Structure 1
Amino acid sequence: MPITVDDIIQLLCLISQNRRMEAAKRHSRTGAVAKTALGSIFGGLVAGPAGAVFGGAIVGLLGSWSMHDEFKPVPQILMELPPAKKQKLFNQAMAIIRNVNKTDPGVLTLLVMDSIVVQQKLLAMLEAYIFNELQADIRYRD
């Protein structure tokens, strides 16, 4: 039975779940600054100098609150990827585990989970993929 894209995605989900890996989309700081500036301008037009301060503060707080805790578990993110992105991950993972000559997904999973070195290589590949392709920040929960 050959290794499929879904088998590799499941393996990456298992590894990232064991490490309690989470990711969140990076937000543009420029957009946040622009929104705060617009809040200040609008507040200034409505209520003068005090309104400008108040408007900027309110928009800044709302923006900060809306971006709070947007981290999602990496396995959830991987399962929601479109097929083309899953295929790209599959290709990158297979380049790492190409020397593991197993065609059974269960045996492959056992071999990878027994090898810290292979897990670290797959995690490094996954981190680079999430950071570069998905433009997300990564954290590990304690």
Structure 2
Amino acid sequence: MSAEMPIMVDDIMKLLCSICQEKKMKAAVKHSGRGAVVVGAMAFVGGLVGGPPGLAVGGTVGGLLGAWMTSGQFKPVPQILMELPPAEQQKLVNEATAIIRNLDWTDAVQLTALVMSNQAMQQKLLAMLTTYVTKELQAEIRYDD
């Protein structure tokens, strides 16, 4: 069984990527820490340059810049999934395996065909992916039409 495990992980990751591509899922991982640093730095510089009014202006400009930096950095979910460390991929595969355990398949192509022809299973996998991306990765999901 352990010899087949890497192949299974790869096959299931391909399946999950196919579902994401089909739904045109994109996600933006929020970089709130980076935004907070920008706000703090701009407020500090503003305070040094202009005293209390400069502090207010610096904080406002920093807030706008921080919000701009952390918004709209959407990447395709398949790309995000493939960039996950092996331990995270394994966690996803374990959750997906619980959903697809009753299917009989030999490779990624067959598995993907079986799932894509089963609307209910597709929805379960999509829900699992959505939960994973929003909770574990703290990302915002968008579907492009």
Cα shift readout 1:2-39 (whole Å, capped 9, x = no counterpart): 6611111111101001101111213448x63x753553
Partner of residue 29, structure 2: 25
Partner of residue 107, structure 2: 104
Cα shift readout 1:49-106 (whole Å, capped 9, x = no counterpart): 4312321122122212211321110000011111111111111111101111223332
Partner of residue 91, structure 1: 94
Once residues 80 and 44 of structure 2 are traced to their aligned partners in structure 1, the CA distance between those partners, rounded to angstroms, is 38
Q: Secondary structure at the match of 2:102?
A: coil
Partner of residue 79, structure 1: 82
- Structure 2 residues not aligned, in runs of 5+: none
Once residues 114 and 101 of structure 2 are traced to their aligned partners in structure 1, the CA distance between those partners, rounded to angstroms, is 13
Once residues 120 and 6 of structure 1 are traced to their aligned partners in structure 2, the CA distance between those partners, rounded to angstroms, is 21
Partner of residue 13, structure 1: 17
Q: Secondary structure at the match of 1:48?
A: helix
Name the stretch that deviates more: 87-96 or 132-141. 132-141
Partner of residue 69, structure 1: 72
Q: Secondary structure at the match of 1:4?
A: helix
Once residues 79 and 125 of structure 1 are traced to their aligned partners in structure 2, the CA distance between those partners, rounded to angstroms, is 16
- Identity score, percent: 57
Which residues of 2 match residues 108-119 of structure 1 at below 5 A?
108-119=111-122
| RMSD value, Cα | 2.1
Once residues 38 and 81 of structure 1 are traced to their aligned partners in structure 2, the CA distance between those partners, rounded to angstroms, is 31
Partner of residue 135, structure 1: 138
TM-score (norm 1): 0.84
Deviating 4+ runs (over 4 angstroms): none
How many pairs does the alignment contain? 139
TM-score (norm 2): 0.83
Once residues 109 and 79 of structure 1 are traced to their aligned partners in structure 2, the CA distance between those partners, rounded to angstroms, is 17
**CA deviation after TM superposition for structure 1 residue 137, in Å:** 1.7
Once residues 96 and 40 of structure 2 are traced to their aligned partners in structure 1, the CA distance between those partners, rounded to angstroms, is 44
- Structure 1 residues not aligned, in runs of 5+: none
